[in-house]
Amino acid sequence: MTTDSHARVSDLALAASIGGMMGGMRVALMVTCVNDAMFPDTGRAVVDLLTRLGVDVEFPQAQTCCGQPMVNTGYLDEAVPVVRTFVSAFEGYDAVVTPSGSCAGSARHQHRLVAERAGDAGLVDAVSELGPKVHELSEFLVDVLGVTDVGAYFPHRVTYHPTCHSLRLLGVGERPRRLLEAVRGLTLVDLPGAEECCGFGGTFAMKNADVSVAMGADKARHVRETDAEVLVAGDNSCLMHVGGVLSRQRSGVRVMHLAEILASTEGAA
C-alpha cells in the first residue's frame, strides 16, 4: 500500500511538473484512420495517458488519414487531397503525437514527395515544417516529456514486437522497451526474431496475401514460443495482422497497443 500511495503521489508530482514544462505548448493527437475507425480504445488510451501525465491534448477534428495507403500503393495523385487535409488539421500545433510509427514515418518522410508531386510550393513548405513536429508515442513520452515511468500497472507476461517503421524508419530504438520495463507487474519476455517484419506491409497484406500470411505465421510461432499472454507493439495495423493469425490459430494470445498498456493503472487493470 505504501508503494501505491507513493506511486500516486509521484504521478501527481510528475503530472504537475510536465504540465508546468509544457507551458502554452499545444499538443495535437493524430489518432490515425485505422485507430479512429477500428481501434478507438487505443486513441482513448493515449488521451487517458497524456491527461494523467498533465498534457492537455487536443483532437483536431478535421484530421482523417496520413495518406500512406495511397503513397505506398503508388497512387500519389490520390494522396494529394489527403495530405492537404492533414496539413490543415495539424498546422499551428507545437507537437503532434500519434500511436503509430508507420503514420509518423509517413508524415515525416513521405509528405514531401506528395507535395512535390502536387507542384505546390506552399504545400512543400507546410509539410516540411510540420513533419519534424510529428512524434510517435514512445518518442513523445521519452524525448518530449522526458518520462519512462508513466505510472502504469499491468500484471501480465508480455512480449514486444518492434514494428519495422518504428525500428528502421524512425529509429525509436529502446524507447518502447524502456517504457514497458517501467510498468509495474509486467513481465517482459524477448521475442525471438523480433526485428523481422511481421508481413503486414499495408496493401501488401492483400496484394501478396500468401506471402504476408506466411510471414505472419512465423511471427505468430515466435510469439507462442515466448508463452506471453499479450503481444504488444506500437502499430495497430501490424497487430491486426499478427493478431488475426494468432486468433485464427486459437492461440489465446491477445494483442494490445503500447498505449493501452501504458494507460493501464492499478484501479483499472
Partner 1 sequence: MSAPTTATFVGMPTFPVAAREALADTQLRHNLAHATHTIRDKRAKVVGEVPEWEELRQAGADLKDAALLRLDVHLTRLEESLTARGAVVHWARDAAEACRIVADVAKAHDADEVVKVKSMVTQEIGLNEALAAEGVAAWETDLAELIVQLGDDLPSHILVPAIHRNRAEIREIFRTRMAASGRPAPDDLTDDPGELANAARLHLREKFLRARLGVSGANFAVAETGTLVVVESEGNGRMCLTLPEVLVSVVGIEKVVPTWADLDVFLRLLPRSSTGERMNPYTSMWHGVTPGDGPQEMHVVLLDNGRTRALADRVGRQALRCIRCSACLNVCPVYERVGGHAYGSVYPGPIGAILNPLLHGVGDDAQIDSLPYASTLCGACYDVCPVKIDIPSVLVDLRAQVVDAHRAQRPPKARPKMEAAAMRSAAWMFGDARRLARAERASGLVGRVWSRLGRTSLPGGRRAVGRLPGPGAAWTSARDIPAPPRESFRAWWRRTHR
111-150 positions binding partner 1, by CB under 8 A: 113
Residue 257 Cα distances to 68, 71, 187, 210, 260, angstroms? 20, 24, 16, 25, 5
Question: 156, exposed or middle or buried, with CB in 10 Å at 0-12, 13-18, 19+?
Answer: middle
Least distance from partner 1 to the Cβ atom of residue 192, Å: 12
Give the alpha-carbon dihedral of 78, 82, 87, 88, to 10 degrees: 120
Task: Point out which residues pair with 97 in neighbouring strands.
Answer: 29, 135
Is 234 a residue that touches partner 1 (CB under 8 A)?
A: no
Residue 232 is a binding residue for partner 1 (CB under 8 A): no
Place of cell 504521478: 11
Nearest by Cα to 80 from 45, 37, 106, 115: 115
Amino acid, single-letter form, for residue 94: D
State the nearest-atom distance from the C-beta of 108 to partner 1, in Å.
13
How many chain residues bind partner 1 (CB under 8 A)? 79
Among 54, 101, 201, 234, interactor with partner 1 by CB under 8 A: 201
13 is an interface residue for partner 1 by CB under 8 A: no
Least CB distance to partner 1 at residue 21 (A): 23
Q: Binding to partner 1 by residue 257, rule CB under 8 A? A: no
Residues 68-87 that bind partner 1 (CB under 8 A): 69-82, 84-85
173 is a contact residue toward partner 1 (CB under 8 A) = no
Which of these segments, 17-25, 124-132, 144-152, 209-217, binds partner 1 (CB under 8 A)?
Answer: 209-217
